[in-house]
Amino acid sequence: MHILLVDDCHELLVALATQLRKRHHEVQLAHSLGEARAVMAIIAPIDVAIVDLVLGDGSGLELIDELHRRRPAVQLLLHTAMPDTRTVSDAVNLGARTVVDKPATGDELLEALVRRPSTALPDIKRRWHDTLRKAQDRLIARAFEAHGGNRSRMARRLGISLPTLRRHLARLGLSSRGRPKRPK
C-alpha cells in the first residue's frame, strides 16, 4: 500500500513511517501542506493519506479537501490531537474516512481505515458527553456538601428545578440528608 504521511512533527512522522514500513508499506513523508502538494505532484500512486490537522503552512482540512477532489480513490484519515466535534464533522464532509486521536500507532491508524467510515464523530460525542456528565456530577456533589443536603438551596444555587435536582441526587445515590441511600 502507498501511504502519504503529513505532519509537522518530524519525530512522529519518522516513528509512524518506521512502523508502517515494517509492515511492507511504501511511505512518503511531508512536513507541511506545501511538501504534501509537491509529493502529490511527483508520486502517482497514493492509496492512503494520513493527515495532521495543524500544519505549519495551512490546515490538514485543506489537503483532505484537495486530495478528495483530485484523487477520490485515496482513503483519507485525519490524525489530530484536537478532535472536536466540528473538526471531525468538517473532515468527514470534506472526504476523510475517519478521524483518529493522537497519539496512535501505525497499526491503529491502519485499523481505523478498515473500520466503518466516520465512526469518530459518535465516539467524540460520547466522550464529550461523559466528560460533561462527570463535571456535572462533581458540581452537584460539591453543592450537596456545601448546602448540607438542603435541596431548595442547592437547586437555587445550581439554577435547576427541584425535580431535576432530585433526579441527579437519585442517580448519584445521595439522599437529602447527606448520606448515601440504602439499597432496597
Give the model confidence (pLDDT) of 35-81 as tens digits: 999 988 887 788 899 999 888 888 899 999 999 998 888 889 888 88
Helix, strand, coil share of the chain (percent; to 5): 55, 15, 30
- The CATH number of residue 151's host domain is 1.10.10
Q: What residues have CB less than 8 Å from 22, skipping those under 6 apart?
A: none
pLDDT at 95 over 90: no
Residues 33 and 50 in one domain: yes
> What is the pTM (predicted TM-score) of this model?
0.62
Mean pLDDT confidence for 4-29: 89
Q: Is residue 69 part of a domain?
A: yes
Sign of the Cα torsion 20, 26, 29, 33 reads: negative
Do residues 48 and 38 make contact, with C-beta atoms less than 8 angstroms apart? Answer: no
Q: What residues have CB less than 8 Å from 42, skipping those under 6 apart?
A: none
Residues 32 and 82 in one domain: yes
Residues 15 and 104 in one domain: yes
Q: What is the pLDDT of residue 122?
A: 53
Q: What is the pLDDT of residue 63?
A: 93
3-class DSSP state for residue 183? coil
- Find the domain containing 58 and state its range: 2-118
Residues 59 and 28 in one domain: yes
Count of domains in the chain?
2
